[in-house]
């Protein structure tokens, strides 16, 4: 029986970039698409792995540090007699592996195998420092069925989409013969979660300003901004998605708070943020239900006691 100790979550960087893209705040969206595609690939991997009926503990999305070096793990699976390290790539198209160099067309790219091997080495050292001698079995998973790698040796620890069924039989067989999990395995998983670094130093947010972003309510379905407001509902003119008005307003308020944590939230600010598509009276009602009002007069603003500041250096 498997146990998911740490589920996969979208990174704060991806969520913020998605908000900016919807409002025209990305001049260069290559970083966004790389993160989006990578996350989608990891979700596909999770769906595949969750269908396997082995005995292990799954810990996703770890950012760890050992001996001054940071390393990221897409998926770590703790079995009875070993630890599985999975590096997941959602590459698409034709790639070439030639003399340990990776190419996409004529462009050389970072070697994902070397990346995984460095991660494995750092993880092994960390496990030893914690008193664990479990062997590590690392695998580079190419989850996209439209990916092809030419000149790839079958001896490399690489699994393609077409090989997943055979690979699953292999690890299920290993799981069946590896013995049961014990408290020691659980303590290791819990310790790794404790060591996880929440704020990634790799995040790279572009500069943006409040007045430069499109104002309105973003569709929850297609992320467009062509929504029509009905009495208690909004409907997207492009994809037909419907959402309760209060839910859409609360989501828009939280978008504003996330992108501009230094702005004092007021009825006037949110009225402007959503493009004046909903009356101030309705906005004020939603704010009063979900937030606390502090201050008086022009200085009054709405806050949450558990408000999470994502960035504090953005110019509004």
Of the candidates 67, 78, 198, which has an alpha carbon nearest to the alpha carbon of residue 126?
67
Of the candidates 47, 82, 260, which has an alpha carbon nearest to the alpha carbon of residue 170?
82
Of the candidates 143, 56, 137, which has an alpha carbon nearest to the alpha carbon of residue 91?
143
pLDDT by position in tens, the chain (length 316): 567 778 889 999 999 999 999 999 999 999 999 999 999 999 999 999 999 988 999 999 999 999 989 999 999 999 999 999 999 999 999 999 998 899 998 899 999 999 999 999 999 999 999 999 999 999 999 999 999 999 999 999 999 999 999 999 999 999 988 888 999 999 999 999 999 998 888 888 999 999 999 999 999 999 998 888 888 899 999 999 999 999 999 999 999 999 999 999 999 999 999 999 999 999 999 999 999 988 888 788 999 864 433 333 333 3
Predicted local distance difference test score (pLDDT) of residue 297 = 80
What span, in angstroms and rounded, lies between the C-alpha atoms of 212 and 300?
Answer: 25
DSSP string, 44-75: HHHHHHHT-----EEEEEEEEEETTEEEEEEE
Q: In this structure, are residues 2 and 186 in contact, taking their beta carbons and an 8 Å threshold?
A: no
CA distances from 134 to 126, 194, 239, 257 (A): 11, 19, 50, 44
* Lookup: tokens for 94: 């034709």
Measured CA angle at 30 (ends 28, 33), to 5 deg: 130
Predicted local distance difference test score (pLDDT) of residue 2 = 63
| Residue whose entry in the numeric block shows the structure tokens 């037909």 | 240
Helix (H) or strand (E) holding 234: strand 233-236
Q: What are phi and psi of 246, to 5 degrees?
A: -60, -40
Q: In this structure, are residues 52 and 75 in contact, taking their beta carbons and an 8 Å threshold?
A: no
Predicted local distance difference test score (pLDDT) of residue 1 = 54
Measured CA angle at 143 (ends 87, 188), to 5 deg: 35
DSSP string, 148-178: EEET--TTSSEEEGGGHHHHHHHHHHHHHHS
**DSSP β-ladder status, 93-98 and 147-150:** parallel
pTM of the entire structure? 0.87
Tell me the angle at which helices 245-259 and 280-290 cross, rounded to the nearest 10 degrees.
70
Question: Which positions ≥6 away from 19 have C-beta within 8 Å?
Answer: 25, 218, 255, 258, 259
What span, in angstroms and rounded, lies between the C-alpha atoms of 314 and 259?
Answer: 8
């Amino acid at each position: 029986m498997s146990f998911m100790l740490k589920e996969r979550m979208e990174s704060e960087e991806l969520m913020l970039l998605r908000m900016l893209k919807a409002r025209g705040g990305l001049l260069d969206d290559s970083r966004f698409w790389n993160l989006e595609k990578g996350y989608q690939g990891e979700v596909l991997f999770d769906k595949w792995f969750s269908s396997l009926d082995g005995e292990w503990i799954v810990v996703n999305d770890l950012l760890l540090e050992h001996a001054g070096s940071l390393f990221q793990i897409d998926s770590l699976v703790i079995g009875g007699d070993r630890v599985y390290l999975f590096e997941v790539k959602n590459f698409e198209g034709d790639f070439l592996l030639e003399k340990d160099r990776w190419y996409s067309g004529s462009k050389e790219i970072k070697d994902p195998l070397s990346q995984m091997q460095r991660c494995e080495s750092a993880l092994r050292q960390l496990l030893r420092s914690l008193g664990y001698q479990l062997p590590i079995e690392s695998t580079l998973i190419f989850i996209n069925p439209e990916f092809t790698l030419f000149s790839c040796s079958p001896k490399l620890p690489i699994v393609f989409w077409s090989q997943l069924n055979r690979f699953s039989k292999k690890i299920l067989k290993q799981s069946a013969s590896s013995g049961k999990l014990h408290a020691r395995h659980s303590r290791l998983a819990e310790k790794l979660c404790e060591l996880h670094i929440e704020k990634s130093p790799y995040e790279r947010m572009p500069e943006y300003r409040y007045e430069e972003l499109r104002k309105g309510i973003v569709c929850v379905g297609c992320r467009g901004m062509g929504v029509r407001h009905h009495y208690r509902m909004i409907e997207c003119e492009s994809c037909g998605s419907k959402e309760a008005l209060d839910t859409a307003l609360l989501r828009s308020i939280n978008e504003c708070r996330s992108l501009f944590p230094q702005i004092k939230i007021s009825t006037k600010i949110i009225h402007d943020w959503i493009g004046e598509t909903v009356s101030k009276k309705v906005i004020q009602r939603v704010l009063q239900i979900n937030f606390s009002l502090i201050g008086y007069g022009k200085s009054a603003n709405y806050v949450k006691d558990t408000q999470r500041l994502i960035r504090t250096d953005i110019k509004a």
